[in-house]
Chain A
Amino acid sequence: MYTKTLNFVENKRLELSDSQLKWEIFFKRLLIVMSAILVLVIIGVLVTLIQKSMPSIKSLGIGFLWGKVWDPVQNIYGAYPFLIGTLLTSFTALIISIPFSYAIAIYLGEYNQKGWLSDLLKNAIELIAAVPSIIYGFWGIFVLVPIVRSLEIKLGVAPFGVGICTSSLVLAVMIIPYSASLGITLIRMVPSPLKEGAYALGATRFEVIRNVVLPFTRTGLFAGVLLSLGRALGETMAVTMLIGNTSAIGNSFKEIFFGPSNTMASVIANEFNEADHDLYVSALIELGLVLFFVTVVVNLIGKRVISKASKN
């Protein structure tokens, strides 16, 4: 019986091999096709954005970017308020977040690498990134906005509550995990002989961190900041709910910073479905195109720096 089966298998085997070879070739092609689809999707995204922005680019030209007035009713489109809104929220958030993300990276990367406290904090940081943006926005409307409003009264500025200041605060918390978790990984990768060398010379822990650990991981930490920035620039929902959605731009910095405003992402989210004529839609898509370019460039530089830093 045993030999009979083997003979049967043996005879079937050659025939089977031929059909299997065909499947093998098919499978390898399938893998190639799936990877190629990805490239096509990205090219498609780019082509679509450019093509649909063309009406706006043609009729508004490059002046679109520094036109100060956005008034769809009058068919006037200027992106300047949104550029300012986006840059101001993102960079404010970034500046607020940096001390925290560096502190987390140093604490979990250097002081406390293992144990339950370390795990707990690390999981909490990851959880910050996991909570959906809509929830931060919702919470912000009902909790943060009243707080900011009362602060604004004390400061003597118009008490809108919503605006760039409020958005930046929420955004700062949301983007911390991106730079922090990269920082933790990089600081843990610092070779211990390097640190031991410094300790052997009588350096304190602070001096080792300042003179060995941070210089060694500088580029990588910078890349993490870029990743956070990429997140901040493209973040939509939380900002849309907290920024006040006003396309007019204030006269003074104080007015801009504490007053309602709009970012590129928030104006798209608010107005895209209401845009009733082609130039309006096209101008919004052009904003999307600018946003796409900026975030992609920031992200790619970040990724490039990371892959270089992790190779060293």
Chain B
Amino acid sequence: MENPIVKAENYNGYFGDNHVVKDVNISIKKHEVIAVMGPSGCGKTTFLRGINRMHELIPGGTSKGKILLDGQNVFDMNVIYVRYKIGMVFQRPNPFPNLSIYENVVAGYMLNGIKMSKADKDVIVERSLTSAALWNEVKDSLHKKGTFLSGGQQQRLCIARAIAMQPELILFDEPTSALDPISTSSVENLFHELKSNYTLIIVTHNMQQAARVSDKTAFFYMGELVEFDDTKKMFTAPADQRTQNYITGRFS
């Protein structure tokens, strides 16, 4: 079996004394779309932010255990490099308001002071926006500010910004919860296309979305990883009673 791209070994996340993620073990293969679902407060977002070490930015946020990225423990790696290798898209679209659409896409390079020729940048911008299914909509207004776009367009711009860095893995933290239904479907359609090149981990509180977009689903409850299996199996024949209760709506 090929090596997993992300592997958590006894990962624990804390907010101060609050133990929010408990002993998570999970192994994620390349080019899979993983949905992480569970009721709010179950630790799914903390787990996600643990992978690229964003969790430690919150005051009181600490992590224990290991998360291996391509076999290397992220907690032993240079944190800047970890975040460079892992893309992230947030709940609310957050393009840089002081930058144009074009600059937003290459922001990861620009803000790091990496010099590139205009031609290279043009290629990266076009490819990333095309992959994010946004190119046709914005190709004539690349030098307008990113904040002029609609919510769904802004979120796809943020995805393009993550793709531009050629990450191995992209994390999505409830990427459609701030979007209207039409924008949501445009982002969801994108997941299918991104799958061929990237590994996606999507945190969602929306079960239908998990069922629609993912290959495998992880169910978190009270900080524990209850079940991790093929999405189809999970929604038809869950192994754990708690999963059963959740998908049948007995608690939320």
List the interface of chain A (C-beta within 8 A of B): 1-2, 5-6, 9-10, 12-14, 16-18, 20-21, 24
Measured between beta carbons, the chain A residues less than 8 angstroms from B116 are 5, 9
Which of B80, B84, B114, B124 is within 8 Å of A2, CB to CB?
Answer: B124
Give the residue name and chain of the A residue nearest to B81 (CB).
A17
- Tell me the minimal C-beta distance from A20 to chain B in angstroms: 5
Which of B112, B117, B127 is within 8 Å of A16, CB to CB?
Answer: B112
Which of B78, B120, B124 is within 8 Å of A17, CB to CB?
Answer: B78
Q: How far is the CA of A2 from the CA of B122 in the complex (A)?
A: 10
**B184 within 8 Å of A (CB atoms):** no
Contact indicator A6/B166 (Cβ below 8 Å): yes
Contact indicator A24/B80 (Cβ below 8 Å): yes
* Subset of 6 A-B contacts with CB under 8 Å: A5-B117, A9-B109, A10-B166, A13-B81, A17-B78, A21-B78
Q: How far is the CA of A24 from the CA of B79 in the complex (A)?
A: 11
Contact indicator B119/A1 (Cβ below 8 Å): yes
**With A16-B112, A21-B78 given, is the CB distance from A2 to B166 under 8 Å?**
no
**What string of 1s and 0s marks CB contacts (under 8 Å) between B62-89 and chain A?**
0000000000000000111100100000
Q: Which 7 A-B pairs rank lowest in CB-CB distance, beginning with the nearest? A: A17-B81, A17-B80, A17-B78, A5-B120, A2-B123, A20-B80, A21-B78
Which of A1, A10, A13, A21 is within 8 Å of B120, CB to CB?
Answer: A1
Q: How far is the CA of A9 from the CA of B117 in the complex (A)?
A: 12
Measured between beta carbons, the chain B residues less than 8 angstroms from A24 are 80
Measured between beta carbons, the chain B residues less than 8 angstroms from A17 are 78, 80-81, 84
Which of B78, B109, B124 is within 8 Å of A14, CB to CB?
Answer: B78
Beyond the given A1-B123, A2-B120, A13-B84, could you list 11 further A-B residue pairs with CB under 8 A, ordered by the A residue number?
A: A1-B119, A1-B120, A2-B127, A6-B166, A9-B109, A9-B116, A14-B78, A17-B78, A17-B84, A20-B80, A21-B80
Which of B114, B119, B127 is within 8 Å of A9, CB to CB?
Answer: B114
Contact indicator B109/A21 (Cβ below 8 Å): no
Q: How far is the CA of A5 from the CA of B122 in the complex (A)?
A: 12
Q: How far is the CA of A12 from the CA of B112 in the complex (A)?
A: 12
- Tell me the minimal C-beta distance from A17 to chain B in angstroms: 4
Contact indicator B81/A14 (Cβ below 8 Å): yes
**What string of 1s and 0s marks CB contacts (under 8 Å) between B117-139 and chain A?**
10110011001000000000000
Contact indicator B120/A16 (Cβ below 8 Å): no
Measured between beta carbons, the chain B residues less than 8 angstroms from A5 are 116-117, 120
Measured between beta carbons, the chain B residues less than 8 angstroms from A16 are 112, 114
Q: How far is the CA of A258 from the CA of B43 in the complex (A)?
A: 73
Measured between beta carbons, the chain B residues less than 8 angstroms from A21 are 78-80
Q: How far is the CA of A24 from the CA of B117 in the complex (A)?
A: 26
Q: How far is the CA of A17 from the CA of B112 in the complex (A)?
A: 9
Measured between beta carbons, the chain B residues less than 8 angstroms from A6 are 166
Q: How far is the CA of A57 from the CA of B117 in the complex (A)?
A: 71
**What string of 1s and 0s marks CB contacts (under 8 Å) between B99-120 and chain A?**
0000000000100101011011
Measured between beta carbons, the chain A residues less than 8 angstroms from B84 are 13, 17
Q: How far is the CA of A155 from the CA of B102 in the complex (A)?
A: 77
Q: How far is the CA of A115 from the CA of B191 in the complex (A)?
A: 50
Which of B78, B114, B117, B124 is within 8 Å of A18, CB to CB?
Answer: B78
- Tell me the minimal C-beta distance from A25 to chain B in angstroms: 11
Measured between beta carbons, the chain B residues less than 8 angstroms from A1 are 119-120, 123
Which chain B residues (164-202) contact chain A, with CB distance < 8 Å? 166
Measured between beta carbons, the chain A residues less than 8 angstroms from B166 are 6, 10
Measured between beta carbons, the chain B residues less than 8 angstroms from A2 are 120, 123-124, 127
- Tell me the minimal C-beta distance from B190 to chain A in angstroms: 21
Please indicate which of the listed interface residues A2, A9, A12 has the most CB atoms of chain B within 10 Å of its own CB: A9
Q: How far is the CA of A9 from the CA of B80 in the complex (A)?
A: 14
- Tell me the minimal C-beta distance from A36 to chain B in angstroms: 20
Give the residue name and chain of the B residue nearest to A9 (CB).
B114
- Tell me the minimal C-beta distance from B57 to chain A in angstroms: 13
Q: How far is the CA of A48 from the CA of B119 in the complex (A)?
A: 61
Measured between beta carbons, the chain A residues less than 8 angstroms from B79 are 21
Give the residue name and chain of the A residue nearest to B80 (CB).
A17
- Tell me the minimal C-beta distance from A288 to chain B in angstroms: 40
Give the residue name and chain of the A residue nearest to B121 (CB).
A5
Q: How far is the CA of A9 from the CA of B164 in the complex (A)?
A: 12
Give the residue name and chain of the B residue nearest to A4 (CB).
B120
Give the residue name and chain of the B residue nearest to A6 (CB).
B166
Please indicate which of the listed interface residues B79, B80, B166 has the most CB atoms of chain A within 10 Å of its own CB: B80
Q: How far is the CA of A20 from the CA of B82 in the complex (A)?
A: 13
Measured between beta carbons, the chain B residues less than 8 angstroms from A14 are 78, 81
Measured between beta carbons, the chain A residues less than 8 angstroms from B109 are 9
Q: How far is the CA of A16 from the CA of B78 in the complex (A)?
A: 11
Measured between beta carbons, the chain B residues less than 8 angstroms from A13 are 81, 84
Contact indicator B112/A20 (Cβ below 8 Å): yes
**What string of 1s and 0s marks CB contacts (under 8 Å) between B135-179 and chain A?**
000000000000000000000000000000010000000000000
Measured between beta carbons, the chain A residues less than 8 angstroms from B81 are 13-14, 17
Measured between beta carbons, the chain A residues less than 8 angstroms from B117 are 5
